[in-house]
Structure 1
Amino acid sequence: MSAWWPAWQQGFAGFAWPWAWALLVLPLLAWMLPPRQPASAALRVPWRSRLEEVAGGDAGNAVATWLLPLLAWVLLCTAAARPQQLGEAQVPPQQARQMLLAVDLSGSMSDPDMELGGQVVDRLTAAKAVIADFLERRAGDRVGLLVFGQRAYMLAPLTLDRDSVRLQLRDSVAGLAGRETALGDAIGLGVKRLREQPEGQRVLVLLTDGVNTAGVIEPLRAASLAQAEGVRVYTIAFGGGGMRSLFGVPLPVQGEEVDEDTLRQVATMTGGRFFRARDTGELAGIYAELDRLEPVDVAAAPVRPRIELYPWPLGAALLLMALAMPLRRRAA
């Protein structure tokens, strides 16, 4: 008991509604009220004082009449004040970034010039594998998925549910948003989705394998909007080299060129960085570098939840009132 009490006292957080203690004086105020005068003098009993003496002389009646009800009232006021105890310290999930992934789904992403696990695969399949691994390491971030081709679309809004983002990415196919590439529209849509998020945490990671051939917003104009809204854009130029299968034999090829100059300018204007990946290994290294540049390192302060203790005094008060009732009947 002596070992338990200090531990309980250390975790006691006080009362949520301390003003409820003012209710303790209500019985005293009721006792101080003047006695009610009888309606008629004919109801007066000359031996009333004698009867009150006899009734008040019973110790059991005294306990049932005022002691137990008084204790019950104190316990009820204690419950009304809501005593609370601090629970074990818990660290809430860390939340570092509002990160939007923009993935190119133009027709060229279906070119089978990448190697993954010893097999030749198309660019989109290789990108999916690397991005899925990247998502595993972003615990605490709110991540969203944007895809673009001839037009840009949001597939998954910013969410802590990275599994849903991974599923949306898995089901994406090249050509889903059109065969062309609208870089500017993708950046503009990303800025629109991130502008309401906390300042300093807005990150757009854009992966593409081509040049801007569609859309209504020029990439540099969209980069100006991102700069104004504090959105850092990391651009990844993917493809343009790798392997192509000929009768099952992987051969190195030179793929179509990527607009590296525009992507580099977009990254520089917004405070991000430009990366070039010609194969799956380089792409995986880029996403590992992004982990370093945008770390999940916001230390969340431990929180001790408050546990309500009012059921204990409330239950004790009900128990005392239940005990007082048969005592009053016996005394009567």
Structure 2
Amino acid sequence: MHAWLETLWPGFAGFAWPWAWALLPLPLLVRWLLPPRQPASPALRLPHGAALVPVLAARAAPRLGWLLPALAWLLLCAAAARPQQLGEAQAPPRQARQMLLAVDLSGSMAETDMRLGLDVVDRLTAAKAGIADFLDRRAGDRVGLLVFGQRAYMLAPLTLDRETVRQQLRDTTAGLAGRETALGDAIGLAVKRLREQPPGQRVLVLLTDGVNTAGVLEPLKAAELAREEGVRVHTIAFGSAGGGFSLFGVPVQGGGAEIDEDTLARVAAMTGGRFFRARDAQELAGIYAELDRLEPVDVAAAPARPRLERYPWPLAAALLLALLGWPLHRRGA
């Protein structure tokens, strides 16, 4: 029967309650169990009674008056069995990561000690290039952008729209959030935003080139809050070991800023993350590639076809037949 219905009804997926078909002979069983109808009382003979026979025959119900109730009952049993049909294939939802990117915008990020291809650029420009490539590979994740200097700010809330995050990052400049560095406040703000998200996939990637010189929250205290809220913090210390480039691209000594690598490493260790040290743009690109490995994007599962309930169809047809059969029943009564 299943194969026959599949031929007539493309996408037919069977009946959820096939046992409901056992109700099909119920009317016959009830008719058999009920007592027989009482014989009609003796008729009164009337003169010219033969002339009334055609009139009464015209008013009588058709001989097949049982057909509509039988079809209606068949359709009711079909509705009770809950026929189902396969819908269009749909990809199941993935468990996206909630990932915040925290970028240092303190004054030292304007220092030109990086090479990007053949060009000499400042640290922020090199960081933007690495983060933009990283965003290209985070399809399916909800990504947000947080910047910090003397204070911490959310530039882009967590979103699936990576282009918006990329645009906000592109518009940032060194010193936009102040000349100093509030590491602890940046971590604290990230924890506050990620705490509102489902647990299990809360990640913060923090990039800085300095030490904590501003803010009200110490980095290690902020790391404790992150650990309590299940936020994994990866920290990146970014900047050359010392020196920079002249206007002609010639390396010069001096001018390197101090980076508190010890605190950054402890923050990462306390929260289950990793600490990285990037001295140039190439190393930074390798670090973001490593983060792709540590925080892989969930692979989409194979599309599935949902089962759609189709019991309203036979139910509506049964009610329609019942409405059509009611006048015939009244006529034959």
Band of TM-score, shorter chain = 0.7 to 0.9
Q: More displaced, 274-283 or 234-243? A: 234-243
The within-5 A match list for 1:64-143 is 66-68=66-68, 70-72=70-72, 74-75=74-75, 78=78, 83-87=83-87, 90-143=90-143
C-alpha distance in structure 2 between counterparts of 1:112 and 1:84, whole Å: 66
C-alpha distance in structure 2 between counterparts of 1:284 and 1:25, whole Å: 74
Which residue of 2 is the match for residue 210 of structure 1?
Answer: 210
C-alpha distance in structure 2 between counterparts of 1:140 and 1:53, whole Å: 76
Structure 1's unaligned 5+ residue stretches are 33-45
| CA displacement 1:112-161 (0-9 Å, x = unmatched) | 33222322222222211211111121223222221111111122222233
The one-letter code of the counterpart of 1:262 is T
C-alpha distance in structure 2 between counterparts of 1:198 and 1:238, whole Å: 30
Which residue of 2 is the match for residue 267 of structure 1?
Answer: 268
> Are 1:175 and 2:175 counterparts?
yes
Closer/same/farther in 2, CA of residues 320 and 118 from structure 1, 3 Å limit: farther
In the TM superposition, what is the alpha-carbon distance from 1:80 to its structure 2 partner? 7.8
Structure 2's unaligned 5+ residue stretches are 35-45
| CA displacement 1:193-221 (0-9 Å, x = unmatched) | 22343443221110011111111001111
Closer/same/farther in 2, CA of residues 191 and 323 from structure 1, 3 Å limit: same
Closer/same/farther in 2, CA of residues 268 and 53 from structure 1, 3 Å limit: same
What is the root-mean-square deviation in Å for CA atoms of aligned residues? 4.5
SS in 1 for 2:273: coil
In the TM superposition, what is the alpha-carbon distance from 1:325 to its structure 2 partner? 10
Which residue of 2 is the match for residue 251 of structure 1?
Answer: 250
C-alpha distance in structure 1 between counterparts of 2:291 and 2:92, whole Å: 24
Closer/same/farther in 2, CA of residues 10 and 308 from structure 1, 3 Å limit: closer
C-alpha distance in structure 1 between counterparts of 2:63 and 2:249, whole Å: 100
| CA displacement 1:138-190 (0-9 Å, x = unmatched) | 22322222111111112222223322222222222222222211000001111
Aligned identity (percent) is 72
The one-letter code of the counterpart of 2:112 is P
The within-5 A match list for 1:1-332 is 5=5, 12=13, 14-15=15-16, 54-55=57-58, 61-63=62-64, 66-68=66-68, 70-72=70-72, 74-75=74-75, 78=78, 83-87=83-87, 90-240=90-240, 243-246=244-247, 249-253=248-252, 254-297=255-298, 300=301, 303-310=304-311, 312-313=313-314
Residue pair 1:56, 1:62 contacting (<8 A) in 2 also: no
Residue pair 2:11, 2:87 contacting (<8 A) in 1 also: no
In the TM superposition, what is the alpha-carbon distance from 1:312 to its structure 2 partner? 4.9
| CA displacement 1:39-81 (0-9 Å, x = unmatched) | xxxxxxx98x9689614766xx455x55336525654675587
Q: More displaced, 112-121 or 281-290? A: 112-121
In the TM superposition, what is the alpha-carbon distance from 1:3 to its structure 2 partner? 6.9
Closer/same/farther in 2, CA of residues 154 and 3 from structure 1, 3 Å limit: same
C-alpha distance in structure 1 between counterparts of 2:89 and 2:6, whole Å: 18
C-alpha distance in structure 1 between counterparts of 2:58 and 2:243, whole Å: 104
Q: More displaced, 207-216 or 80-89? A: 80-89
How many residues were matched structurally? Answer: 314
C-alpha distance in structure 2 between counterparts of 1:306 and 1:3, whole Å: 17
C-alpha distance in structure 2 between counterparts of 1:4 and 1:137, whole Å: 48
SS in 2 for 1:250: coil
Which residue of 1 is the match for residue 38 of structure 2?
Answer: none
C-alpha distance in structure 2 between counterparts of 1:313 and 1:258, whole Å: 73
C-alpha distance in structure 1 between counterparts of 2:72 and 2:244, whole Å: 83
| CA displacement 1:78-132 (0-9 Å, x = unmatched) | 5587532233654324325221111111222222332223222222222112111
C-alpha distance in structure 1 between counterparts of 2:159 and 2:136, whole Å: 14
Residue pair 1:103, 1:207 contacting (<8 A) in 2 also: yes
Residue pair 2:239, 2:278 contacting (<8 A) in 1 also: yes
SS in 1 for 2:249: strand
The one-letter code of the counterpart of 2:147 is V
Residue pair 1:113, 1:242 contacting (<8 A) in 2 also: yes
SS in 1 for 2:225: helix
C-alpha distance in structure 1 between counterparts of 2:12 and 2:72, whole Å: 25
In the TM superposition, what is the alpha-carbon distance from 1:270 to its structure 2 partner? 1.5
Which residue of 2 is the match for residue 37 of structure 1?
Answer: none
In the TM superposition, what is the alpha-carbon distance from 1:239 to its structure 2 partner? 1.6
